[in-house]
Amino acid sequence: MRVVFDGQGALLAGADHFEPRHIFECGQCFRFAPDGGGYTGVAHGRVLHVEKKGGNVRLWPCTEAEFWRIWHGYFDLGTEYGRLLSALPRDSFLEAAVSFGRGLRVLCQPPFETLITFILSSNNNVGRIRGLVNRLCEAYGAPIGEGFFAFPEPLALSAASEEDLRRLGTGYRAPFVLSAARTVADGFDLHALGALPYEEAKKALLAFSGVGPKVADCVLLFSLGHRCAFVRDVWIKRVLSKVYAAPVKAADNERFVRERFGEYGGIVQQYLFHYARSKKVFAKPAARIAK
């Protein structure tokens, strides 16, 4: 992939492993939406347009400095997905998932935003999550252009009341959002969890009210670089059970995933999840993969 700057943005030439639709529609972020020719959204307090034409991807507006400081890391452009995926032990189901989701990249999002977003995602669908996050940003985030708002800073969100948050539609999640915001505003360093061993970082996140194993793994995978974090939702549980005949017991299931998918299990999981959910692959009985 070659990066060219034109004064208004960045052109990623030969971006074979960058498909905006798969990146923004695979359930890892909720602030980018289709705008006709591509996707427009907000991250790191900036509005960004992303469009792919042919084999090239254009990101704008952004300066060369902003690209290297923000977007290169956000889109994990330092990882060669072609090489990573080709090194995975393949089976027919994973082969189909990787083929379907070609161009999906796991983002590296701001940890606080990711924590709050996935607390809100609990027992929710994508449309409602998107609406909740947008209302939260409009109420407590800084305006950054016509119709756009940054994600709230921890201090701004910590000043809300449970009643204020419930009025936005957060429901029973309101106290969890408020508690997390106050904990981070008081000095808890979420970024530091990226340097900890996976199990230790996960344990620290599980201490937050409203954060269970699934939300913790989402934060670890989508914002802190723990690529082994294997998010288990209903779709992935079906894949593990019906396709791979994985053991049910938690410790055995964890061992199975580590042995089967290795250190990049979280990335593999995202391809499996996106494929299973998008194609509704369990509308009919799934054949198990031979060992």
Active site residues: 214
CA-CA distance, 152 to 182, in Å (whole number)?
Answer: 12
**C-alpha distances in Å from residue 244, one per residue of 27, 85, 90, 96, 285:** 22, 19, 12, 14, 13
**Among 63, 108, 79, which residue's Cα sits nearest to residue 1?**
79
Residue among 111, 93, 148, 103 at smallest CA distance from 275: 93
Encoding tokens for residue 280?
A: 């509704």
Rounded CA-CA distance 19/104 in Å is 6
CA distance 266 to 254: 12
Q: Cβ-count burial of 80 within 10 angstroms (0-12 exposed, 13-18 middle, 19+ buried)? A: exposed
Rg (CA), the chain: 19
Structure-token pair, residue 83: 């090489």
In this structure, are strands 39-43 and 46-53 parallel, antiparallel, or unpaired? antiparallel
